[in-house]
Amino acid sequence: MDLLRVSAARHFQLFTTSCRNMHLLKKQAYVNGEWVQASSNAVFPVLNPADDSVIAEVPDMDAADAKTAVDAASNTFKTWKNTTVKERSYILRKWNDICLQNVDHLAEIMTAESGKPLAESKGEIAYGTSFLEWFADTARHINGEIIPGPWPNKKILVTRHPLGVVSVITPWNFPFAMITRKVGALMAAGCTCVIKPSEDTPLTALAAVELAVQAGVPKGVINVVTSSRKNAAGVGKVMCEDPAVGCISFTGSTHVGKILYGMAAKGIKRVSLELGGNAPFIVFPSADMEHALDHAMLAKFRNNGQACVAGNRFLIHESVFDKFVEGFKGRIGQKCVLGPGNKEGVTCGPLVNKAQAEKVTGLVDDAVAKGAKVLLGGKIAKHLGDKFYESTLLVDVKPDMAIYQEEVFGPVAVCYKFKDEAEALEVANSTRSGLASYVFTKDLGQAFRMSEKLEFGMVGINDGILSSCEPPFGGIKESGIGREGSKHGVEEYTDLKYTLMSALDK
């Protein structure tokens, strides 16, 4: 938490300008270069989870609106794909710069609708813009190949081509970064897009797109369709099944990911899916305990545990279990300050909505009823509101408890004891999820063995924070398909074309 706060503050000093652009609170969707209402004129409210106040009402669009947006993106693709990588790189860098000039106001909107503390919102904007900067650079390295063939007088050419319209469906937990990570990459590749942001956090998306407009992104390249949960399935169907769509890029639950994957399959569409995780956080006896504890705090309580890479199962060797649990309890008690995200000093905000609060409450209550012991927290802090879940530490958790298998997605740390490396691996891998994993050890051989044997797309050895724009982010098994960030993140949005150049002697 402290690391996050320091980096956000440093970032803030570097980039905040006096420009507080109140126009960033946009209340309309954005299609084909225009701010628009839903064709039905319907709207839905965006609530502040800290107090349930209505921040704004935005268009509640439906399938017909989604079709209009896909058509706009499809028309624009005809010209956008022919822009040079230099032009696309320039626009992305400008978008990055303008976002950095507006950190303050973007963060205010993000905190209001997502509940996350202001410092974390600023941290997310620093993280999210890093993808715009990164893809501004990677745009210029989408290279092909010339491969020596088996025949004389022929050459094999391999070139990369943009996939077309990308349907971007994003969650509420990182409402800015999940958009820049996808849209930065797809724009660099020469694609256009339709974004459907989460119904909980459309205002951050609209603000980000207003800044894209200011950066000179041409009309039709980015379109935003806002919809309530009620209309999400209808909008999603068009975004997955319209023939003009080349790819569906989704971050969210495994449940919804499977629905979208099924629809994409009908048209043999490309997919990029970042789904749920169930990250083990494994501490071996040789680990530097203070370091492991600092990183346990980061891995668990960043965004109040509402992250797919959040530490979900803390697997601690029996010889250091008591020490770890005592240290964890001390740190949680000292560092986690629950309250509204815009209040100075708060490190943990409300859960994003009632459903999340009920889910976390249900998981903890079930565990406690079956014998788990609560060392800290364990309930909603009712004096603050109905979505403020106390930072919680549980031990004595058994396989028959739902919390043993499920992704908590909240501020609940669950500690288990293990005897040896084989048992830690068995428990860690006993899930259909395979996104992030964390291992703390000073034994070099053990570090390599764990990296090799953990069935996860990402392994942090002695680190609880893995994400940045440089490495490929993504999961295996039911945690997803495809990678975001890195050079691979751009390639996701391209097709390879093989051209045989023959008769070169004629």
Binding region for ligand ADP (CB under 6 A): 169-172, 196, 198-199, 229, 232-233, 236, 252-253, 256, 259
> Least distance from C-beta 171 to ligand ADP, angstroms?
4
Cα separation, 428 vs 422, in Å, equals: 10
> Least distance from C-beta 245 to ligand ADP, angstroms?
13
What's the token pair of residue 5? Answer: 């706060």
> Least distance from C-beta 40 to ligand ADP, angstroms?
18
> Least distance from C-beta 232 to ligand ADP, angstroms?
4
First to last CA, the chain: 67
The full DSSP string for 132-163 is: HHHHHHHGGG---EEE--SSTT-EEEEEEEE-
CB burial string 27-46: b at 16+ within 10 A, e below: bbbbbebebbbbeeebbbeb
Q: Which is nearer to ligand ADP, 259 or 465 (CB)?
A: 259
Give the pairing of strands 494-501 and 155-162: antiparallel
> Least distance from C-beta 259 to ligand ADP, angstroms?
5
User: What would you report as the CA-atom Rg of the chain, rounded to the nearest whole angstrom?
Assistant: 23
Active site residue 358: no
Q: Which is nearer to ligand ADP, 140 or 229 (CB)?
A: 229
Q: Which is nearer to ligand ADP, 273 or 346 (CB)?
A: 273
Cα separation, 479 vs 435, in Å, equals: 6
Q: Which is nearer to ligand ADP, 190 or 277 (CB)?
A: 277
Active site residue 274: yes
> Least distance from C-beta 49 to ligand ADP, angstroms?
13
> Catalytic: which of 120, 199, 210, 274?
274
**Helix 2-15, helix 118-138: angle, nearest 10:** 70
Around Cβ 145, how many Cβ atoms within 10 Å? Answer: 11
Phi, psi (rounded to 5 degrees) for 225: -110, 115
Using DSSP's 3-state secondary structure scheme, residue 477 falls into strand
Residue nearest to ligand ADP (CB): 236
Q: Are 27 and 56 in contact (CB under 8 A)?
A: yes
Give the pairing of strands 279-283 and 436-440: parallel
Q: Which is nearer to ligand ADP, 71 or 407 (CB)?
A: 407
Give the pairing of strands 311-317 and 279-283: parallel
> Catalytic: which of 308, 348, 415, 469?
308
Around Cβ 212, how many Cβ atoms within 10 Å? Answer: 25
What's the token pair of residue 35? Answer: 């701010």
Using DSSP's 3-state secondary structure scheme, residue 474 falls into coil
Amino acid at 223: N
Q: Which is nearer to ligand ADP, 190 or 350 (CB)?
A: 350
Amino acid at 308: C
> Least distance from C-beta 403 to ligand ADP, angstroms?
17
Q: Which is nearer to ligand ADP, 89 or 231 (CB)?
A: 231
Q: Are 30 and 22 in contact (CB under 8 A)?
A: no
> Least distance from C-beta 62 to ligand ADP, angstroms?
12
H/E/C letters for each residue in 260-315? HHHHHHHCCCEEEEECCCCEEEEECCCCCHHHHHHHHHHHHHHHHHCCCCCEEEEE
Considering Cα of 394, then 395, then 401, then 402, what sign does the dihedral take?
positive
Q: Which is nearer to ligand ADP, 241 or 288 (CB)?
A: 241
Kindly list the catalytic residues: 274, 308
